[in-house]
């Protein structure tokens, strides 16, 4: 129905209802008072009726009641009561001025009650009749677009032009005051952010599309938290760079995920990465892991001459092999199954392939597991790293990038301690080598193996509870692609000996991640999925930091890469402590933890 015709029909209906409520109120008062003089056959009575109807209609119209008639529920009844209470209050002023001597005061509350009953009753009957005689197609998507700008307009255009797809575009949401009450492509802007929850219910919205590609994730999270209190699905546009011209494929509109809420926008890589990776031989250790496999994918996109992918797990390397051979058939690829603890094998790989660049990502990183397996952590994270570092120095590697962690700063667990000693090995070797050794330190990455995201997802799928160690536990997070891109940037910036620290943004509460994931899965925390606090696990602390107090901070040419300038290492002491660890592994493995702690204490005190 045309909007003007619809408004005309609704206006006539409500004028009739207001007139009827006035007459019925007069009838009730007349019966109660037994006053035959109460009638409309005089000028004052007719003028009073017209005044009452006009006040009621103007209040309904001005307060936009007619926008809310496709759905009728508790909130709408409350809205009617408020509007009619206002109109009756205004009429009371007229009544007290001109009719107090002629009509009994009981007429005022009677008018208020009859107008509410007539208006709300008719609307409820209409809503029920519509559902009975004109049932809505449950398969039809009823869409609300957040953002009436260029992206929202293109999205609306695609929806309106789509054929064979059961879409019904209801309207837009936009906080721009100048866009309120306007139409975009004939579709109305229905309100602002504060109106979303009510509008979703009013118009029985099934899908909300957030068409704000330039919005900050905190802003998107605000919209998500509102929408997830309703039954509507929340979806996002694809990145603008993925559109063809000004065209956007509706199939590319995707459901929201946790990376949208925590990760930041990918920054375009600088020319520096291409300059040092193109046409060279690159070795990646731990290439089957979360970081290693993404490193392989991104490095390959810069056309290296040769890419050597080394890993201990054959299945993970096989999976990387299948992906890269299909995606980069023009690159010389080598897949090596090797353990970085095997010094002879590692040296043979360096001798055979003579890599120019090495990204050392191989490590044991599971904190609670390494607390119970100190020997494995020491052998892999310390002496495995030493093997790769020595081979890089011996065979003249140009650049070497060691992937570290925020848990290496003031470490309280075995994993963090071994990674910190790995940093020390890299730094001390850098002082006497022509190879440009550097360390890149960052926090948690989303959806890596063993991270909280996959664990939470499985717990949600099984109906909960979702287990959180502590309500105040916070961590730094970034997406795997974002972390790897910044690792590549740091490698390009290296002049030798630096500890690069990636800008991780603001720390995020693990509890917030759990709650957001529950909402993204279509549930409400505590109501549908319970959150259970299980206590801090061995080796964990409430928060992590990215710098030592003794490290001097320095900016770089990249806005998201910083340098922590370290102290000079005392190589003699470090070599002595490494020898103690080797002897303990052979003879007294129960002493490993105390030796690790002693090394870290001396490091913090500046004695190494």
241 and 278 belong to one structural domain:
no
Which segments of 240-383 does DSSP mark as H helices, in order?
258-262, 271-277, 290-300, 314-327, 343-353, 367-371, 374-377
584 falls within a domain: yes
Q: What is residue 529's DSSP assignment?
A: B
- Helix or strand run (H / E) with residue 552: strand 552-555
| Residue recorded with tokens 């721009």 | 176
262 falls within a domain: no
Q: How confident is the prediction for the chain on average, in pLDDT?
A: 83
Which one is catalytic: 228, 259, 321, 407?
407
The answer to whether 238 and 253 are in contact (CB under 8 A) is yes
For residue 554, the cross-strand partners are: 563
125 and 146 belong to one structural domain:
no
Chosen domain end from 133, 150, 168: 133
- Would the pTM count as exceeding 0.85? no
Over residues 220-247, the pLDDT tens digits come to: 778 877 887 787 888 887 654 444 445 5
294 and 383 belong to one structural domain:
yes
Which segments of 63-106 does DSSP mark as H helices, in order?
74-98
398 and 305 belong to one structural domain:
yes
The answer to whether 186 and 248 are in contact (CB under 8 A) is no
Please give the Cα distance from 112 to 448 (Å, whole number).
Answer: 63
Which of 420, 437, 439, 440 is closest to 429 using CA atoms? 437
Please give the Cα distance from 226 to 542 (Å, whole number).
Answer: 29
Chosen domain end from 99, 117, 133: 133
Over residues 585-603, the pLDDT tens digits come to: 888 888 999 999 999 988 8
Please give the Cα distance from 73 to 359 (Å, whole number).
Answer: 61
592 falls within a domain: yes
265 falls within a domain: no
Cα separations in angstroms, 301 against 38, 290, 304, 355, 482? 89, 17, 8, 18, 15
Q: What is the pLDDT of residue 183?
A: 82
Over residues 465-511, the pLDDT tens digits come to: 999 988 888 887 788 888 999 999 999 999 998 999 988 777 788 88
Q: State how many domains the chain has.
A: 3
- Helix or strand run (H / E) with residue 208: strand 207-210
| Residue recorded with tokens 């952010």 | 193
The answer to whether 469 and 540 are in contact (CB under 8 A) is yes
User: Looking at the predicted structure, is the pLDDT value of residue 159 above 90?
Assistant: no
* 67 flagged as catalytic: no
379 falls within a domain: yes
User: Looking at the predicted structure, is the pLDDT value of residue 71 above 50?
Assistant: no
Average the pLDDT over each of 111-115, 354-358, 360-364, 541-545 and give the range with the smallest value: 541-545
Helix (H, G, I), strand (E, B) or coil at 171: strand
Q: Which of the pair, 63 or 559, is modelled with greater confidence? A: 559
Q: Which domain holds residue 239?
A: 141-257
322 and 457 belong to one structural domain:
yes
Residues comprising the chain, all counted: 608
Cα separations in angstroms, 596 against 196, 344, 413? 55, 26, 10
248 and 322 belong to one structural domain:
no
198 and 324 belong to one structural domain:
no
287 and 220 belong to one structural domain:
no
127 and 252 belong to one structural domain:
no
Q: What is residue 545's DSSP assignment?
A: -
Rounded to an integer, the average pLDDT of 311-338 is: 94
266 falls within a domain: no
Cα angle 482, 485, 491; round to 5: 140
325 falls within a domain: yes
388 and 427 belong to one structural domain:
yes
- Helix or strand run (H / E) with residue 189: strand 187-191
264 falls within a domain: no
Please give the Cα distance from 566 to 547 (Å, whole number).
Answer: 10
354 and 221 belong to one structural domain:
no
Pairing of strands 531-533, 466-468: parallel
Q: pLDDT band at 70, cuts 50/70/90?
A: very low
* Half-sphere CA count of 538, side-chain side, radius 13 A: 10
Q: pLDDT band at 257, cuts 50/70/90?
A: low
Q: What is the pLDDT of residue 404?
A: 95
Contacts (Cβ under 8 Å, ≥6 apart) of 450: 365, 366
152 and 112 belong to one structural domain:
no
Chosen domain end from 203, 226, 257: 257
CATH of the domain at 247: 3.40.50.720
């Amino acid at each position: 129905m045309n909007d003007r015709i619809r408004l005309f029909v609704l206006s006539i209906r409500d004028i009739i209802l207001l007139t009827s409520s006035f007459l019925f109120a007069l009838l009730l008062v007349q019966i109660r008072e037994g006053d035959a003089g109460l009638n409309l056959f005089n000028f004052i009575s007719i003028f009073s009726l017209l005044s009452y109807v006009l006040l009621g209609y103007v209040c309904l119209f001005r307060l936009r009641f007619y926008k809310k008639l496709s759905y009728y529920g508790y909130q709408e009844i409350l809205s009617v009561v408020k509007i009619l209470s206002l109109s009756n209050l205004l009429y009371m002023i007229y009544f007290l001025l001109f009719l107090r001597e002629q009509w009994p005061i009981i007429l005022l509350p009677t008018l208020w009650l009859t107008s509410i009953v007539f208006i709300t009753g008719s609307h409820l009957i209409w809503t029920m009749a519509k559902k009975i005689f004109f049932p809505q197609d449950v398969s039809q998507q009823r869409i609300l677009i957040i953002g009436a700008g260029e992206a929202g307009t293109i999205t609306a255009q695609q929806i309106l032009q789509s054929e064979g797809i059961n879409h019904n575009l209801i309207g837009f949401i936009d906080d721009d005051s100048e866009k309120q009450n306007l139409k975009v492509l004939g579709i109305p802007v229905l309100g602002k952010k504060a109106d979303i929850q009510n509008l979703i219910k009013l118009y029985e919205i099934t899908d909300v599309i957030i068409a704000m590609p330039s919005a900050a994730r905190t802003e998107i999270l605000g919209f998500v938290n509102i929408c997830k209190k309703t039954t509507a699905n929340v979806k996002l546009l694809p990145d603008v760079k993925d559109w063809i011209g000004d065209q956007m494929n509706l199939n590319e509109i995707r459901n929201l995920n946790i990376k949208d809420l925590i990760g930041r926008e990918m920054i375009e890589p600088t020319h520096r990465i291409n300059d040092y990776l193109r046409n060279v031989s690159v070795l990646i250790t731990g290439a089957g892991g979360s970081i290693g496999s993404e490193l392989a994918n991104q490095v390959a996109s810069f056309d290296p001459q040769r890419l050597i992918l080394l890993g201990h797990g054959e299945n993970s390397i096989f999976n990387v092999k299948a992906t890269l051979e299909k995606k980069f058939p023009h690159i010389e690829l080598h897949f090596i199954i090797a353990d970085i603890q095997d010094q002879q094998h590692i040296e043979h790989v360096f001798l055979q392939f003579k890599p120019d660049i090495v990204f050392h990502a191989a490590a044991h990183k599971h904190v609670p597991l390494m607390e119970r397996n100190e020997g494995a952590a020491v052998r892999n994270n310390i002496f495995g790293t030493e093997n790769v570092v020595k081979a890089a120095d011996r065979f003249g590697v140009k650049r070497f990038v060691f992937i570290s962690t925020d848990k290496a700063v003031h470490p309280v667990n075995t994993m963090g301690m071994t990674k910190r000693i790995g940093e020390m090995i890299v730094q001390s070797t850098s002082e006497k080598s022509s190879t440009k050794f550097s360390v890149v330190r960052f926090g948690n990455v989303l959806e890596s193996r063993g991270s909280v995201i996959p664990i939470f997802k499985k717990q949600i799928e099984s109906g909960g509870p979702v287990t959180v160690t502590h309500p105040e536990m916070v961590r730094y997070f970034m997406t795997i692609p974002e972390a790897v891109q910044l690792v590549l940037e740091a490698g390009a910036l290296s002049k030798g000996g630096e500890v690069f620290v990636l800008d991780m943004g603001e720390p995020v509460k693990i509890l917030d991640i759990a709650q957001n994931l529950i909402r993204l899965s279509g549930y409400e925390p505590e109501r549908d999925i319970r959150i259970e606090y299980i206590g801090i696990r061995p080796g964990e602390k409430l928060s992590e930091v990215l710098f030592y107090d003794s490290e001097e901070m320095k900016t770089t040419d990249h806005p998201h890469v910083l340098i922590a300038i370290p102290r000079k290492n005392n190589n003699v002491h470090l070599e002595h402590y490494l020898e103690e660890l080797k002897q303990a592994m052979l003879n007294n493995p129960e002493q490993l933890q105390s030796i690790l702690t002693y090394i870290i204490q001396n490091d913090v005190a500046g004695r190494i």
